[in-house]
Structure formats: structure tokens, C-alpha cells
Structure 1
Amino acid sequence: MTLPKPITDYLAAHEMRDADAALPHFTPDATVVDDGHTYRGPDEIGGWLRRAGSEYTYTSTLTATDHVDDRRYVATYHLEGNFPGGVVDPHHRFTLHNGRISRLVIEP
């Protein structure tokens, strides 16, 4: 399954660790939930984007995608690196609104 362009563009920018390119794919009132923390709006999400890719060294492989309904999609990754545990398969649960990401929840 092919993910919608706002999601693939965000994922490509995030993979390149380019927060400035990733941030415009979120709505102004977007929410991101990752590792037990919630980030709201462009300032908090921008800070999260800048930190998220810089804490550890890891490889990332997209292993599955799912189209839940007309607004919700899931991208599952396999990560290996020097973070605690060394291996994880997080699900990135996206909700779209007006062609942008309004919610992203990253969880195992």
C-alpha cells in the first residue's frame, strides 16, 4: 500500500533528519506522542523533530503500511541501533486533516 504524499514527504524529511522540511507537513494544531511524551504545535513538534534523530545512531527499515480509514494510516518500522534495547518495531499512527498530519502516535 502506498502512503499519502504528506506522510511520505514527512517520513523522507525525518529520515534525512531535516526538521525544517518535516515540520510543514503538520497542521498548526498537530499533536505528536512519542516515548510517553506529548508535543503540541509547531514549536514543541519542531523541538521534538530536532532531538528525535540526533540522540542515537540507528538504521531504519519500513516493514509494513496500513490504511485504517480515509484519514488514518500506519507505517511500521524496524529500528536497530545504540538506543536502550537496541531493537524496536514502532508503529507510526498518522491522522490526516486537510492534507496534513494532525496527529502522530509512535508506539510499539
Structure 2
Amino acid sequence: MPIELPKPIADYVEANACLDVDGMLEPFTRDAVILDNGKRFEGQAELRQLFENEVIPVRAIFTPAAVRQENGQVVAEGPAHGDFKGSPIRFTYRFTLEHDAIRALEITL
């Protein structure tokens, strides 16, 4: 049974699966924040740098295996696989949505 994700998250996951940077950026608000294992990226320019410098080169693709609502966030857990040490690694993605867009994303192990 496929996991049902809110549209902006589903769009992000789909674009990530294709390693499409523009598609990955599209569901985020202009001033969105990503906290990626302690590193903070804010705004479209920094998110683009994150995707272009840390996601695309290692072909990191996140595949949600479980999703739940928790404290107003959508929490997706699952493996990320790619050309990086330890692949696949299980991650937790905590999405904060605002007006049908991703306002914040916290990525942790």
C-alpha cells in the first residue's frame, strides 16, 4: 500500500527521486528553512546550494516508509540511498507545512 503524503511533500519526494533540483525547490516557501543534521539552510538560494552540493553529487534519494502527524508536523521516516558511505541510512524528515507549501524541514538520523 503506497504512503499518502500531503501534496507539497509528495512533490518534493518525487522530484528528489529524479534528482531534479528545481522540482525539489518548488514545494518550499521562499523563506523556507532546512535543518540537515545540525546545519541550517534558509531561503531558496541556500536550499539550492544544499541540493546541488550535498544531494545531487551523492545521488541521495529519500524514500518514506512511514508517515505520521506529530505536534503539527508531518513526520516521514525511511531510508535514503545513494553513493555515500553507509547507504542506505534511515532518516527522519519533519515537515512543517504552511499554505500548501513546505515552510520548514528538519532532517535527522
Q: TM-score, normalised by structure 1?
A: 0.84
Aligned residue-pair number: 107
1:35 pairs with 37, 58, 68, which one?
Answer: 37
User: Following superposition, which runs of at least 4 residues in structure 1 exceed 6 angstroms of deviation?
Assistant: none
Greater CA drift, 43-52 or 96-105: 43-52
Q: Does the CA-based 8 Å contact 1:17-1:50 persist in structure 2?
A: no
Tell me the equivalent position of 1:83: 84
1:65 pairs with 67, 75, 84, which one?
Answer: 67
Q: Does the CA-based 8 Å contact 1:14-1:49 persist in structure 2?
A: no
What is the CA distance between 1:82 and its match in structure 2? 4.1
Question: Identity rate of aligned residues, in percent?
Answer: 31
Tell me the equivalent position of 2:101: 100
Q: Does the CA-based 8 Å contact 1:76-1:89 persist in structure 2?
A: yes
Would you say 1:56 and 2:70 are equivalent positions? no
- Structure 1 residue runs of 5 or longer lacking an equivalent are none
The one-letter code matched in structure 2 to 1:49 is F
What is the CA distance between 1:89 and its match in structure 2? 0.6
C-alpha distance in 2, partners of 1:65/1:99?
17
Q: Does the CA-based 8 Å contact 2:63-2:79 persist in structure 1?
A: yes
Q: Does the CA-based 8 Å contact 2:19-2:61 persist in structure 1?
A: no
Greater CA drift, 45-54 or 14-23: 45-54
Are the structure 2 counterparts of residues 65 and 80 from structure 1 closer, same or farther at C-alpha, using a change threshold of 3 Å? same
